[in-house]
Chain A
């Protein structure tokens, strides 16, 4: 796994605003991607996934965008709510390998 130090990138947004969380993945052969949400004291929870033959996928209030050219993945959360406060991290899967990003801490201000 990757290690980027003790301090996670943070994103602070106002309740009701949209949030965009970014992830740069490392393996150009990765063909499946997942976003996880991890609330304090809990295990990671699946949010949304996307395959490499797509560049956009929408769920309920969440959208994942995939740009394979620059190996970039983003998670957009519409109308962010206090319950969305958590650490969000991406996972890339390919070649019998799965890697996780360190995550971004999202804080929603009321």
Chain B
């Protein structure tokens, strides 16, 4: 596609429910990132996928959070037993090259998650 796409754009859920957020990166981009952005705050790194390598999960805040990337393309971020503090905008980004290079990350529009 022309850019990174994410779905759904908005998700409202009840506390304790599981949610799945989807990211379609730019075709050909080997690197994929998930970030969380709480109101008025900067981007918080969650997880990084690079090609077929094991993902860097060091940013996941708890074991309720998990992500996978199938076929080196689409990624799904899953939050189990959601809590109110999980409410945030979840952003996905992709880039051609690996993290730490000069290659720019291109961001999707984000999924706004609200946990009631």
Contact = CB atoms under 8 A, between A and B. Distances in A.
B113 to A, nearest CB: 14
Nearest to B109: A43
A43 B4 contact: yes
A89 B105 CA distance: 14
A43 B39 contact: no
A45 B41 contact: no
Which of the four size classes fits the interface of chain B?
20 to 34
Given A1-B43, A3-B41, A43-B4, A97 B104 contact: no
Contacts of A91: 105
Interface residues of A, number: 31
Interface in B21-59: 35, 39-45, 59
B62 interface: no
Nearest to B39: A6
Interface stretch (A12-20, A64-72, A78-86, A98-106): A98-106
Contacts of A89: 42-43
3 smallest CB-CB distances across A and B, nearest first, come from A96-B100, A43-B107, A102-B42
Interface of A: 1-8, 32, 34, 36, 41-46, 49, 51, 89, 91, 93-98, 100-103
